[in-house]
Amino acid sequence: MRPLILGGICLCLAGAGQASEWPADAAVDPNAQNRTLTPKVVVNSGRLEWEPYKRDLTPWPTLSHLDRRPTPRPQQANYDPPLRGDPARGREIAMDPARGNCIACHTLPGEPWPGSVGQLLLGYKQRGVSDAYVYQQIYDRRVTNPNTVMPPFGAFGVLTEQEIRDLTAYVQSLE
């Protein structure tokens, strides 16, 4: 608990005008592994314990009213052909909860427990959808649809350029 409190105070004293830091009411311990904390409820205790979370989530904007960091604006990708993507690697990324996790929202062949929020991704190649278009949709779909639910994987630095190329190759391989 103590590092958490100190973290809040350090921010207040040193970073009142700093827009690059997480807000003071975030569950963060700057000295913990990954900084982001997750609460741990201890039975019959009046204190809330904290554990390091598996991922550092501090770089992105929070819901705090104190958070002054702007969200990255919609961004056109600099797609440079040819594709140079590996569909097998792309499939791995699509199924990996820690990376693409496309399967959480999209239904993809050969995988149980899919999602149904995202649109069907089959037959893009047959319909003549270009690699550049698919790449942009993964990189930042807000460019073509401002109200999209699709995360801007490229513009937010969630996936690397090569990972998006692999995913594009995978999507283009689905029939």
Partner 1 sequence: MRTLLRTGLLLTALVGTAWAQEPAPYRDMDLPIPDYEAHVRGDLRLSKTYPHWRDRSRLDWRLAGNPDEHWKLNWKFMDPPFNQAVHGGHFALERGEYLYKTLNRNGRFAACLGAGRAGLKGLRTRFPQYRQDLGRVVGLEAVIEHCAAAQGEVLQNGSYDNSAVSLYIASFSQGMPIRIDVSRGPMQEAYERGRRLFHTKAGRLNFACSSCHTRNIGQLVRGSHITTPYGDVTHYPVYRTQYFLQSLHLRMMECNLDTGVQPLLPGSQAYTDLEVFLTALSNGYPVSVPAERN
Dist. CA 151–CA 158, nearest whole Å = 9
Output 56 or 86, the one with its CB closest to partner 1.
56
Q: Evaluate whether 132 touches 79 at the Cβ level (below 8 Å).
A: yes
Contact with partner 1 (CB under 8 A) among 14, 117, 119, 120? 117
Output 140 or 166, the one with its CB closest to partner 1.
140
Q: Evaluate whether 169 touches 121 at the Cβ level (below 8 Å).
A: no
Q: Evaluate whether 48 touches 41 at the Cβ level (below 8 Å).
A: yes
Q: Is 110 exposed, middle or buried (0-12, 13-18, 19+ CB in 10 A)?
A: exposed
End-to-end C-alpha distance for the chain, whole angstroms:
52
Token representation of residue 63: 């819901």
Question: According to the binding rule CB under 8 A, does residue 45 interact with partner 1?
Answer: yes
Stretch that binds partner 1, among 20-28, 77-85, 121-129, 167-175 (CB under 8 A): 20-28
Give me the 137-156 binding string for partner 1, x by CB under 8 A, dash otherwise: -----x---xx-x-xx---x
Q: CB of 64: closest distance to partner 1 in angstroms?
A: 5
Stretch that binds partner 1, among 61-69, 83-91, 123-131, 161-169 (CB under 8 A): 61-69
Stretch that binds partner 1, among 49-57, 82-90, 119-127, 128-136 (CB under 8 A): 49-57
Contact with partner 1 (CB under 8 A) among 26, 134, 167, 169? 26
Instruction: Give the position of tokens 């995913």.
Output: 167
Describe the crossing of helices 131-140 and 161-173 by its angle, rounded to 10 degrees: 130
User: Identity (one letter) of the amino acid at 106?
Assistant: H
Where on the chain is the footprint of partner 1 (CB under 8 A)?
1-2, 5-6, 8-9, 12-13, 16, 19, 22-28, 36-39, 41-48, 53, 55, 57-71, 73, 103-105, 112-117, 142, 146-147, 149, 151-152, 156, 158
